[in-house]
Amino acid sequence: MSSITIDPELKPGEFVIKSLFAEFAVLAEKKIEMVMAEPLEKPLSRSLQRGEDPQFDQLISSMSSIAEHCLPSLLRTLFDWYRRQSGTEDEPYEYRPRSSTKSKGDEQHR
Protein backbone atom coordinates (compact mmCIF):
# COMPACT_ATOMS: atom_id res chain seq x y z
CA MET A 1 0.00 0.00 0.00
CA SER A 2 1.12 3.51 -0.69
CA SER A 3 1.54 5.95 2.13
CA ILE A 4 -0.32 9.21 1.92
CA THR A 5 0.79 12.24 3.88
CA ILE A 6 -1.47 15.14 4.71
CA ASP A 7 -0.11 18.56 5.58
CA PRO A 8 -1.69 19.74 8.88
CA GLU A 9 -1.13 23.35 7.75
CA LEU A 10 -3.92 23.06 5.16
CA LYS A 11 -7.17 24.97 5.41
CA PRO A 12 -9.84 22.93 7.22
CA GLY A 13 -11.82 22.23 4.04
CA GLU A 14 -8.76 21.08 2.13
CA PHE A 15 -7.71 18.94 5.08
CA VAL A 16 -11.11 17.20 5.04
CA ILE A 17 -10.92 16.61 1.29
CA LYS A 18 -7.40 15.21 1.45
CA SER A 19 -8.26 13.05 4.47
CA LEU A 20 -11.30 11.59 2.74
CA PHE A 21 -9.35 11.00 -0.44
CA ALA A 22 -6.53 9.32 1.50
CA GLU A 23 -9.08 6.99 3.08
CA PHE A 24 -10.64 6.40 -0.35
CA ALA A 25 -7.26 5.43 -1.84
CA VAL A 26 -6.64 2.90 0.94
CA LEU A 27 -10.14 1.40 0.80
CA ALA A 28 -10.16 1.28 -3.00
CA GLU A 29 -6.84 -0.58 -3.00
CA LYS A 30 -8.22 -3.10 -0.50
CA LYS A 31 -11.37 -3.47 -2.58
CA ILE A 32 -9.34 -4.12 -5.73
CA GLU A 33 -7.28 -6.77 -3.91
CA MET A 34 -10.48 -8.38 -2.64
CA VAL A 35 -12.05 -8.45 -6.12
CA MET A 36 -8.87 -9.90 -7.64
CA ALA A 37 -8.94 -12.74 -5.08
CA GLU A 38 -12.56 -13.68 -5.83
CA PRO A 39 -13.41 -16.53 -8.20
CA LEU A 40 -13.92 -15.51 -11.82
CA GLU A 41 -17.49 -16.84 -11.70
CA LYS A 42 -18.59 -14.02 -9.38
CA PRO A 43 -19.75 -11.06 -11.48
CA LEU A 44 -17.68 -7.92 -11.00
CA SER A 45 -20.84 -5.83 -10.82
CA ARG A 46 -21.93 -7.79 -7.76
CA SER A 47 -18.65 -7.15 -5.95
CA LEU A 48 -18.86 -3.43 -6.63
CA GLN A 49 -22.57 -2.83 -6.06
CA ARG A 50 -23.91 -0.62 -3.29
CA GLY A 51 -24.49 -2.40 -0.03
CA GLU A 52 -21.58 -4.82 -0.39
CA ASP A 53 -19.29 -2.56 1.66
CA PRO A 54 -21.10 -0.02 3.88
CA GLN A 55 -17.87 1.75 4.86
CA PHE A 56 -16.89 2.29 1.22
CA ASP A 57 -20.46 3.35 0.36
CA GLN A 58 -20.42 5.96 3.14
CA LEU A 59 -17.05 7.28 1.97
CA ILE A 60 -18.30 7.64 -1.62
CA SER A 61 -21.40 9.42 -0.33
CA SER A 62 -19.26 11.82 1.72
CA MET A 63 -17.04 12.59 -1.25
CA SER A 64 -20.12 13.20 -3.39
CA SER A 65 -21.47 15.69 -0.86
CA ILE A 66 -18.16 17.51 -0.70
CA ALA A 67 -17.90 17.61 -4.50
CA GLU A 68 -21.19 19.51 -4.62
CA HIS A 69 -19.57 22.36 -2.70
CA CYS A 70 -15.89 22.29 -3.62
CA LEU A 71 -15.34 20.23 -6.75
CA PRO A 72 -12.16 22.09 -7.84
CA SER A 73 -10.37 21.19 -4.60
CA LEU A 74 -11.47 17.58 -4.85
CA LEU A 75 -10.31 17.36 -8.47
CA ARG A 76 -6.99 18.99 -7.62
CA THR A 77 -6.47 16.35 -4.91
CA LEU A 78 -7.37 13.60 -7.39
CA PHE A 79 -4.96 14.95 -10.02
CA ASP A 80 -2.16 15.32 -7.44
CA TRP A 81 -2.68 11.69 -6.42
CA TYR A 82 -2.68 10.58 -10.06
CA ARG A 83 0.56 12.45 -10.74
CA ARG A 84 2.19 10.77 -7.72
CA GLN A 85 1.00 7.35 -8.93
CA SER A 86 2.23 7.92 -12.48
CA GLY A 87 5.58 9.34 -11.37
CA THR A 88 5.04 12.71 -13.03
CA GLU A 89 4.83 14.78 -9.84
CA ASP A 90 8.14 16.51 -10.61
CA GLU A 91 6.91 17.84 -13.93
CA PRO A 92 5.79 21.47 -13.82
CA TYR A 93 2.07 21.88 -13.38
CA GLU A 94 0.03 24.99 -12.92
CA TYR A 95 -3.57 24.93 -11.82
CA ARG A 96 -5.51 27.55 -13.72
CA PRO A 97 -9.19 27.82 -12.88
CA ARG A 98 -11.35 28.59 -15.87
CA SER A 99 -13.48 31.66 -15.94
CA SER A 100 -17.21 31.21 -15.74
CA THR A 101 -18.49 28.98 -18.51
CA LYS A 102 -21.68 31.00 -18.86
CA SER A 103 -21.76 33.34 -21.78
CA LYS A 104 -23.11 36.86 -21.62
CA GLY A 105 -26.13 35.65 -23.56
CA ASP A 106 -26.97 33.18 -20.77
CA GLU A 107 -27.00 36.01 -18.24
CA GLN A 108 -29.31 38.14 -20.41
CA HIS A 109 -31.90 35.36 -20.67
CA ARG A 110 -32.53 35.44 -16.91
Give pLDDT tens digits for 19-51: 888 899 899 899 889 888 988 888 888 888 888
SS3 24: helix
Report CA torsion sign: 88, 90, 91, 95.
Answer: positive
Instruction: Write down the pLDDT at residue 103.
Output: 47
When pLDDT is cut at 50, 70 and 90, the band that residue 90 belongs to is low
Averaged pLDDT for residues 70-95? 78
Domain locations along the chain: 12-89
Percent of the chain at pLDDT > 90 equals 14
Rounded mean pLDDT of the chain?
78
Give the pLDDT confidence score for residue 52 in this predicted structure: 85
User: What does the angle CA 14 – CA 73 – CA 71 come to, to the nearest 5 degrees?
Assistant: 125
pTM here? Answer: 0.61
The band of 93, judged by pLDDT with boundaries at 50, 70 and 90, is: low
